[in-house]
Structure 1
Amino acid sequence: MKKTIKVFKHPITEVFVMVFISVVIPAHIKKEYLLDAVNSALNQTLSRDKYEIIVIKNFPDYDEYLSNSGVIAINTNKKTGGEKIIEALKISRGEIISFLDYDDIFLPHKLEMVYKIFSNDDKVGYYRNRLLYFRDGDNIHSIIKNIKYTKKIIRIKNEEKEAKFKLMMENSAYINNSTISLRKDILLRFIENNPHKYRNIIDNINFYISLMSNYDVVLDPNVLTLYRVSKNNFTFGNSSYGINDFQEWVRRKINYLEMVIDGLYLLTDIVKNNYIYLKYDIYPRLTFYKCLSSLLPTKIDKKYKLHFRDLKYANKKKTPLFLFCLTLNYAPASIKRLFAMKAYKSEVKVAENLIGHEQ
């Protein structure tokens, strides 16, 4: 028997809202962890008649296993995560889209919580839970066993978004797609008008298009996602984690920074000159990534370099750092190389220190 969840009472009638969830798992070339992600989505406490799983990938592996497990598999030549998601949306049946990167893990009650949040209130458009970093090779079952769900969720009404924006930033509201669920109509409205812009930093895009909608935001300070730290992970694969060649690190870092900076420029268009969102997040990050670009001992397009005009967006506490980066723009490659090498070595420590931490 299906159980309906009561949303609210009316003096005369009672209204019930049921939702269906589409879990979208994009994968590109790197496939060694895909089945871990898929199995975590299959082994949920939520009944399977309340959600579907769509895997969209550019390799034929695992098709038989996925089909036998009731998972929809799409093979595509699309390259970016955003392009793959657009393809998955075309066949998705859910009103709610929950994202899962191919190398991350859902906790067993993740989708039950997503279902409860969106079924209980049709004003909620965006939901984000916390994640826990784990090292490739760690005992996943042991990690999950020790996670407790005890913290109270944070509800931010549409009219409170600007006033509580700093609170959202403190709770890492846009970090990692595998923590994010949102209503499909928010996505479709953006994609219909911007089909070629939904490509990279899609966790950021998902958050900001939700902010610009009329829906409420729910932030869950409890861990429901495990984030794998490995050399094949996109974020850490573009850091020095697991990379022993400095020149290879520089090459990857340039590609990564250009992608992120392009994405942040897109966010400036999405928020439509909203002073709060620009001042307290987008502009400072844009300036920071341009600063990092200045460290690299190679030629880079001026679009991605730090300029004096960018200083007006910088956090005052970081102004000395940005002035230093501006100076490096004109430094010889040998000097840049020294500072880039320090950054290269420090990134391994940063990645290692994240293990076991929440965000």
Structure 2
Amino acid sequence: MQKLPLVSILVNNYNYGHFLAEAINSALNQTYSPIEVIVVDDGSTDNSRSIIESYEQKIIPILKENGGQATAFNVGFAASRGDIICFLDADDLFEPHKIEKIVQIFEQHSEVGWCFHPLTYIGDQIDAEALKTKTGAEGIYDLRESIKQGKLNGKLPFGTATSAICFKRELLEKILPMPVAIRITSDDYIKYLALGLKPGFILLQKLAIQRIHGNNAFTFKTDTDKVNLRISIVCLTAYWIKTNFPEFQKFSNNMLALAIILSLRYRNKNEENNQLIKDYLASIPIITKMEIYLRATYYLLKL
């Protein structure tokens, strides 16, 4: 009989002790086997570590000093052994049949390296638009040329969050470890690079649940908070994609153009963001700078 692939579920946690047990249980109670559940605690100061200890040998615990989400992804992946890797935020849940379905997709389509799916949202302050049924085509997506040309807009039927992204190990080995400076919403860096490196599969089934509870890093934040955070995410993602994967510089250039126009429009004074923009611009030829500013002007007209 053909050996079933081991699936690693990487749970990243920081001070979500009141959600953590449900997240771990949703990972352990999958209809598929074999799995390993790796829980990375990023220096929590609540009761998270006592909860993790209570699972004993059922999980692989990693207790580390606080360093941000990127460090949690890096150490979790380094400790994993799975052929397939699925990420789970500690305040979210997997549907019981998620891993079974993901393995099925990867087994049926050997050419794909990633699989993304939409989420079910529960909690307060949920945007009605997010509750609409996802539309679009389910199947294989090859967006490698789109990323190289910096033209991703409209190519995917929905946005994705950490708990909705899954990868083959051989693809993640090309991306991780990732820069530790990307402390929050680190999945953007991973997702965009995955799109550029390998074809993948879009599922339209909601295989995970995202909690909306007022303390989410990004989803359903108020306009001001969301814009400020978005600028930081775009700056960091653009800077490090250009640094580590120069073949995707057209894509990172367009991301930087968006960061520039958002910073100007919303008068963002974050020094780290401004320095990243300066460093990026200082490292490229004048003609490329002109292209970025032209793209920024285009975004300004669209906003």
What is the TM-score when the length of structure 2 is the normalising length? Answer: 0.75
Correspondence for 1:96 among 84, 94, 99: 84
Q: 8 Å contact 1:176–1:203 — kept in the other structure? A: yes
Deviation at 1:312? 1.4
Kindly provide the amino acid, as one letter, of the partner of residue 226 in structure 1.
I
Deviation at 1:183? 1.6
Correspondence for 1:233 among 200, 207, 216: 216
Change (3 A) 1:168 1:129: farther
Q: 8 Å contact 1:264–1:282 — kept in the other structure? A: yes
**Tell me, which stretches of 5 or more residues in structure 1 are unaligned?**
5-15, 139-145, 242-248, 322-359
Does structure 1 residue 154 correspond to structure 2 residue 127? no
Correspondence for 2:16 among 4, 8, 30: 30
Instruction: Output the CA distance in 1 between the equivalents of 2:74 and 2:122.
Output: 29
Instruction: Output the CA distance in 2 between the equivalents of 1:21 and 1:188.
Output: 15
Instruction: Output the CA distance in 1 between the equivalents of 2:265 and 2:140.
Output: 35
Q: 8 Å contact 1:208–1:271 — kept in the other structure? A: no
Does structure 1 residue 290 correspond to structure 2 residue 263? yes
Q: Which residue of 2 aligns with 1:135?
A: 123
Instruction: Output the CA distance in 1 between the equivalents of 2:293 and 2:300.
Output: 10
Kindly provide the amino acid, as one letter, of the partner of residue 153 in structure 1.
E
Deviation track 1:64-112 (CA, whole Å, cap 9, x = no partner) reads 43226x1222211142111112212222120111000011121221111
Correspondence for 1:67 among 51, 56, 60: 56
SS of the counterpart of 2:75? helix
SS of the counterpart of 1:282? helix
Q: Which residue of 2 aligns with 1:268?
A: 242
Kindly provide the amino acid, as one letter, of the partner of residue 303 in structure 1.
Q
Does structure 1 residue 221 correspond to structure 2 residue 204? yes
Change (3 A) 1:62 1:147: farther
**Tell me, which stretches of 5 or more residues in structure 2 are unaligned?**
282-288
Q: Which has the larger radius of gyration?
A: 1
Deviation at 1:293? 4.8
Q: Which residue of 2 aligns with 1:50?
A: 34
Q: 8 Å contact 2:218–2:229 — kept in the other structure? A: no
Q: 8 Å contact 1:158–1:216 — kept in the other structure? A: yes
Kindly provide the amino acid, as one letter, of the partner of residue 13 in structure 2.
A
Instruction: Output the CA distance in 2 between the equivalents of 1:223 and 1:72.
Output: 27
Deviation track 1:231-255 (CA, whole Å, cap 9, x = no partner) reads 2211159x449xxxxxxx87x9757
Question: Which stretch of the first structure deviates more once superposed, 119-128 or 154-163?
Answer: 154-163
Q: 8 Å contact 1:56–1:84 — kept in the other structure? A: yes
Change (3 A) 1:199 1:184: farther
Change (3 A) 1:100 1:320: closer
Deviation at 1:184? 2.0
Aligned length: 282
Does structure 1 residue 206 correspond to structure 2 residue 190? yes
SS of the counterpart of 2:89? coil
Deviation at 1:164? 12
Kindly provide the amino acid, as one letter, of the partner of residue 62 in structure 1.
I
SS of the counterpart of 2:91? coil
Instruction: Output the CA distance in 1 between the equivalents of 2:133 and 2:97.
Output: 11
Deviation at 1:267? 2.6
Instruction: Output the CA distance in 2 between the equivalents of 1:150 and 1:204.
Output: 22
Correspondence for 1:314 among 285, 289, 296: 296
Question: Which stretch of the first structure deviates more once superposed, 36-45 or 92-101?
Answer: 36-45
Does structure 1 residue 82 correspond to structure 2 residue 65? no
Q: 8 Å contact 1:106–1:225 — kept in the other structure? A: yes
Deviation track 1:25-67 (CA, whole Å, cap 9, x = no partner) reads 0111232211121122122222xx3211111113422134322
